[in-house]
Amino acid sequence: MSLEVTLTSENFEEEVQKSSLPVLVDFWAEWCGPCRMIAPAVEELARTYQGKLKVGKVNVDTQGELAGRFGIISIPTIMIFKDGKPARQKVGALPKPQIESLFKDLI
């Protein structure tokens, strides 16, 4: 069972902006090779930090409005939200330690 939340325009406010935990949001698409490369690391981080960090995924093909709202032009893009607002962002297929370094000091 995946611990990652599928994020949509309908649940984004509740799941991310009202979250008491920091939220890692992975903007991705099915056809994106680098997105598939980092998916296991993102899933592993969701397990490792369960209860301390929420992890969500936004499929940019089905949630274009949401991707546009945050100016996502390249994927994969990892955004960290803290207190409901974007705190950090990195683009590209990052190794797990680099993804972890984006949020570790926020939890």
Task: Note the pLDDT tens digit of each residue in 22-66.
Answer: 999 999 999 999 999 999 999 999 999 999 999 999 999 999 999
Percent of the chain with pLDDT over 70: 98
Active site residue 35: yes
The predicted model scores a pTM of 0.96
Closest CA to 4 of 69, 78, 89, 82: 78
Residue 68: what are its φ and ψ, rounded to 5°? Answer: -65, -40
**Catalytic site residue from 5, 35, 41, 42:** 35
Percent of the chain with pLDDT over 90: 97
**Catalytic site residue from 16, 24, 32, 46:** 32
Active site residue 102: no
Where exactly are the structural domains of the chain? 5-106
Give the CATH architecture of domain 5-106: 3-Layer(aba) Sandwich (3.40)
- CA dihedral defined by 10, 43, 53, 85, rounded to 10 degrees? -50
